Amino acid sequence: QMGRAMKPRKGDLVRVEFDDHVRDGDELIRFAVYGRVLNITRHAITVAVWEYADPNVPPDDNVDRYTIARKAIADVSLMVRAN
């Protein structure tokens, strides 16, 4: 789980594995999302998967971001550490 093996920081590029709901199914399915960490709270991590190339442009409606509950996260792998 996030926080044990690897503590992501804002701006890091990460791969997040998480269990997601399934429509009309009986079990959760494990998914992975790749992106830049925008925010981390006690309850969730927010990752931008489509963002501006210029890191100084603040996120807006053109940035695709996903907020994933920490309880659903199976693993967070660091791809690139933020400067």
| 64-69 β-sheet, strand order | 64-69, 44-50, 29-40, 13-20, 73-80
Kindly report, residue by residue over 4-48, the tens digit of the pLDDT: 456 899 999 999 999 998 899 899 999 999 999 999 999 999 999
Residue 63 clears pLDDT 60, i.e. is over it: yes
Residue 75 clears pLDDT 90, i.e. is over it: yes
Residue 1 clears pLDDT 50, i.e. is over it: no
Q: What's the CA gap between 46 and 44, in Å, rounded?
A: 7
pTM given for the model = 0.82
